[in-house]
Amino acid sequence: MKTDYYEYSIPELVGILGDRFKDYRMRSNMTQQEVAERAGVTVNTVHRFENGMVPNMSISTFLLLLKAIGCIEGLDELMPELPESLYLIKDNGKKAQRIRHTNKSQALKVKSEKSWQRQES
């Protein structure tokens, strides 16, 4: 069964990641000290992350920790590169740099469609 991560708060998600990180670190046969040295962070940072004591963590620190244990290639699974989208190509053939809605009802329609897509998967 697939986990619905939308049901979790950000601190809860960070806690889940910290718990998983600890498992990966231990399977890599590394101590918290070794990870901290490789990542350039304190042992306390690693300890607090692994034990769910960090309410939020910068993406930079998280990436440093992933690199330290050799798991940075997992980013492709976390957020795979998307193929080109015809939806994002403007009339002049250039790729759109931002999305603008001309009115609130259009923005709400997009938001409700995304919610609906989430429920299907």
pLDDT (tens digit per residue) in 39-90: 999 999 999 999 999 877 899 999 999 999 999 998 888 888 888 777 777 7
What is the predicted pLDDT for the residue at 81? Answer: 87
Kindly report the pTM of this predicted structure. 0.71
DSSP notation for 78-112: HSPPPPP-GGGB-TTSPBPSS---SSHHHHHHHHH
Residues 15/48, Cβ–Cβ less than 8 Å: no
What is the 8-class DSSP label of residue 70?
T
- d(CA 24, CA 48) in angstroms, rounded, equals 16
Q: Is the pLDDT of residue 37 over 70?
A: yes
The amino acid at 78: L
pLDDT of residue 94: 79
Tokens of 110: 């997009």
**CA angle (51, 26, 22) in 5-degree steps:** 25
The secondary structure of residue 69, as a DSSP letter, is T
Q: Is the pLDDT of residue 12 over 80?
A: yes
